[in-house]
Amino acid sequence: MAETRTRASHYLLLWLLLAPAVLWLFGLIVLPHVDLALLSFRERTGPGEYALGLEQYRTFFAEPLYWDVFVRTALISLIATALTLLLAFPIAWTIAKLTRGRLSALLFAVCLIPFWVSETVRTLGWMILLRETGVLPGLLVSLGLTEAPIEMLYHDATILVGLVYTSLLFMVVPLYGSLESLDDSLIEAAYDLGGNGWTVLRTVVIPHALPGITAGCIVVFMLTLGNYLTASLLGGKNSLWFTEQIYTQFITRFNWEQGAAFGFLLLALSSAMVWLGLRLSGQKFSDVMSRT
Amino acid sequence: MAETLDKDLEAKALRKRFGSHTAVDALSFSVKRGSFFSILGPSGCGKTTLLRMIAGFIEPDSGDLDIGGRSMRGVPPNRRPVNMVFQQLALFPMMSVGENVGYGLARRGVPRAERDRKAEAMLERVGLPGSSRKRVDELSGGQRQRVAIARSLVLEPTLLLLDEPLGALDLKLRERMKIELKQLQAAFGTTFVYITHDQSEALVLSDQVAVMNNGRFEQVGTPQQLYYSPETPFVAGFVGANNRIDGRVSAIHGDCVEVTTAEGWTVRAQRHGAVAAGDAATAFVRPEVAVLGRSLDELALPAEAPVHQGIVESLLFDGANSAVLLRESRTHAEFRVALPQTGRFADLKVDETVIFSFAPERAVCFADAARHG
């Protein structure tokens, strides 16, 4: 009797502790998504009259612009993820393996500092640097490298720079975790058995760090795919970013049905990419998530 | 030339400093081909630094190192004819046992089929046939040890370095692996350089042992030489159990000296090196050298043999290694005596008064200055 009561109170406590998270998850994520799903399957048949249908999804596939923007967003996000990985790996390696104690804490802090500033301000910082009358074009002119200042904003490369910059920390942290746990003697043993820098990286370091690499890539890919601010500020009005299309449908056109359908397509895309990434790297979702 | 061919490892005035600390101090030694050479010393004596210099992970400040008759200056670890068995073994957990053993061969560009064949053959030689597909974490501690050795030996190195590989094992397994290691070395004939702080490992395994302290070799010799004729007080104190008696030299009779402690207990021992009357000196007496008795008749000693009286402080029963800890009656100096295997003292009690004696020629005495020279 007493035991069942303690068990019951145990469950009650568990639910109480979970309640904020469950409410948050349900109220702000599940409910809106259900509503959006219903919206996306709605067709307008007349003023104020709606029917269930696949019209919104049909529009997406029928209109090449939407499809192109979709693919383009996915590709740029993939490139941004790859670049972030290439850039973050040496940083994480330096923090995890080449430095100790205070220095590695300091390096971590240096990676973190940009995040004390809001994303908008950070992105505006890039604009100050890169716009036609900005710092960098001016510098190039004064160095005599270009005759007239160049507009550096509103290129795909600019979007990439911004995305990589915003995502770097989210790649460094899981990479650091997985590299930190790599026993130095494994690296030494690989050298001792005749390995060189490249083979040791390929056969020992990367296989060990793979869960961290996958985790970082998933997080960064999702962040860039769903990024709105960086793409629209650095890429301009015509950056052709998919989240911008969603924004336009919802806010400019008041076509919530179309926007909802786009939202779900983006969700499907990111889920498919994560699944593919896990399959390709041979990782389990739960293993990878415990690394992030 | 024939002489250098016979040596697999030769160190010439090898030196390494870390800041103001000299880890390895102008060390010169050589290791004979096919022998089991141990470097024995307490932690921090520089043995790990020395081993890592041989492996190539640390570059010496000065001096030279020849392996297989070739100078190793500037040769990186992956180009040395040397392989290492790491303290934590460092098997690659992301690879199968067979891939671990074949790792070095793959780095040499050996084709897969031949690599697998060689790895399998090597696993069979170390007593692990058919386990090449297993994962590393499916193996027991002793099996992993053998994989680590197989992974190195498959490359047929001139030297195999072992960095306290038995340290992580439990006692029973350690005893068994000691024997296995010795048999493996005999079977392969590869020169082993083994570092350890465990004197029993060094004594059981080695052909030659170097006792290292403060970056120098105190003595290099066979286990028997180290045990029976230590050349320095450090070796006498470090190798095997020993009773240490600090005092001053009160009398000299040829090679036999009398050492009297500050409390006034006098013991006799064989001197080693120059000892003068009045010198501060230390005598070492092994527990098994002393005999224990309850009466003089029982001991049946020669007439002039010194006899000491003691009180049993504690009984240290450990099967064949049983001993008794005594306090000398008058001065309360601690003294350890090994118990005979006959079970004659099975009924010995704490606080019982006993007599003990040891032959002076089986105890050794050093003048204290020798410790620093």
Domain match, B202 and B282 both: no
d(CA B144, CA B137): 9
Residue A36 in any domain: the answer is: no
Residue A200 in any domain: the answer is: yes
Q: Can you state the percent helix, strand and coil of chain B, rounding each to 5?
A: 30, 35, 35
Give the rounded distance of the alpha carbon of A226 from its chain centre: 7
Q: Are B191 and B68 in contact (CB under 8 A)?
A: no
Domain containing residue A226: CATH number = 1.10.3720.10
Least confident residue range of A207-211, A219-223, B109-113, B171-175: B171-175
Which of B249, B341, B245 lies closest to B285, judged by CA?
A: B245
- Backbone phi and psi for residue A108, each to the nearest 5 degrees, phi listed first: -60, -45
User: Could you report how far apart the first and last alpha carbons of chain A are, in Å?
Assistant: 42
Q: What local confidence, expressed as pLDDT, does residue B346 receive?
A: 85
Residue to substitute from A178, A186, A193, A200, interface B, most B β-carbons within 10 A: A193
B94, A204: Cβ pair inside 8 Å? yes
Q: Is it the case that residue A289 has pLDDT exceeding 80?
A: no
Domain match, B70 and B188 both: yes
B103, A191: Cβ pair inside 8 Å? no
Map tokens 């004939």 to a residue.
B189
Residue A41 in any domain: the answer is: no
Chain A residues in contact with B136 by the CB 8 A cut-off are none
Domain match, B55 and B204 both: yes
Q: Which of B188, B206, B234 is the last residue of a domain?
A: B234
Which of A125, A95, A97 lies closest to A112, judged by CA?
A: A95
Q: Is it the case that residue B66 has pLDDT exceeding 50?
A: yes
Q: What does the pLDDT average to over B132-156? A: 93
Half-sphere exposure of B246 (CA within 13 A, CB side): 6
Q: What does the pLDDT average to over B33-51? A: 94
At B252-268, the pLDDT tens digits run: 988 899 999 999 999 99
Query: CA nearest B153 in A: which residue?
Result: A193
Asked if A183 has any chain B CB less than 8 Å from its own CB, the reply is yes
State whether the Cα torsion B226-B229-B235-B241 is positive or negative: positive
Q: What local confidence, expressed as pLDDT, does residue A168 receive?
A: 92
Residue to substitute from A187, A192, A198, A213, interface B, most B β-carbons within 10 A: A192
Domain match, B216 and B348 both: no
Stated pTM of the model: 0.82
Residue A154 in any domain: the answer is: yes
Chain B residues in contact with A213 by the CB 8 A cut-off are none
Chain A residues in contact with B92 by the CB 8 A cut-off are 186, 189-190, 203-204
Domain containing residue B314: CATH number = 2.40.50.100
Structure-token pair, residue B285: 């007496």
Chain A residues in contact with B104 by the CB 8 A cut-off are 193-194
Radius of gyration of chain B (CA): 25
Give the rounded distance of the alpha carbon of B283 from its chain centre: 21
Chain B residues in contact with A282 by the CB 8 A cut-off are none
Domain containing residue B195: CATH number = 3.40.50.300
A193, B152: Cβ pair inside 8 Å? yes
Residue to substitute from B54, B67, B86, interface A, most A β-carbons within 10 A: B86
Residue A194 in any domain: the answer is: yes
Chain B residues in contact with A196 by the CB 8 A cut-off are 78, 107
Query: CA nearest B150 in A: which residue?
Result: A193
Chain A residues in contact with B151 by the CB 8 A cut-off are 193
A185, B78: Cβ pair inside 8 Å? no
Domain match, B218 and B255 both: no
Asked if A286 has any chain B CB less than 8 Å from its own CB, the reply is no
Q: Is it the case that residue B90 has pLDDT exceeding 90?
A: yes
Q: What local confidence, expressed as pLDDT, does residue A152 receive?
A: 86
**ipTM of model:** 0.84
Domain match, B165 and B308 both: no
Angle between helix A119-130 and helix A156-180 axes, rounded to 10 deg: 130
Domain match, B81 and B229 both: yes
Residue type, A241: W
Domain match, B328 and B291 both: yes
Residue A257 in any domain: the answer is: yes
Number of folded domains that form chain B: 2
- Range of the structural domain that residue A129 is part of: 51-289
Q: Which of B82, B90, B94 sits opposite A189 (nearest CB)?
A: B90
d(CA B132, CA B125): 13
State whether the Cα torsion B102-B105-B107-B113 is positive or negative: negative
Structure-token pair, residue A108: 């971590």
Q: Which of B57, B93, B103 sits opposite A193 (nearest CB)?
A: B103
A192, B84: Cβ pair inside 8 Å? yes
Domain match, B192 and B55 both: yes
Query: CA nearest A185 in B: which residue?
Result: B90
Q: What does the pLDDT average to over A248-269? A: 90
B373 pLDDT band, cuts 50/70/90, is very low
B88, A193: Cβ pair inside 8 Å? no
Residue type, B12: K
At A22-58, the pLDDT tens digits run: 999 999 989 999 998 998 998 888 787 888 888 889 9
Q: What local confidence, expressed as pLDDT, does residue A193 receive?
A: 95
Asked if B167 has any chain A CB less than 8 Å from its own CB, the reply is no
Residue A85 in any domain: the answer is: yes
Q: What local confidence, expressed as pLDDT, does residue B270 receive?
A: 92
Domain match, B251 and B229 both: no
Asked if A208 has any chain B CB less than 8 Å from its own CB, the reply is yes
Domain match, B83 and B149 both: yes
User: Could you report how far apart the first and last alpha carbons of chain B are, in Å?
Assistant: 34
Domain match, B83 and B213 both: yes
At B159-197, the pLDDT tens digits run: 999 999 888 788 888 888 899 899 999 999 999 999 999
Residue A278 in any domain: the answer is: yes
Q: What local confidence, expressed as pLDDT, does residue A199 receive?
A: 95
- Range of the structural domain that residue B35 is part of: 2-234
Q: Which of B179, B205, B234 is the last residue of a domain?
A: B234
Q: What local confidence, expressed as pLDDT, does residue A178 receive?
A: 93
Q: What does the pLDDT average to over B272-295? A: 90
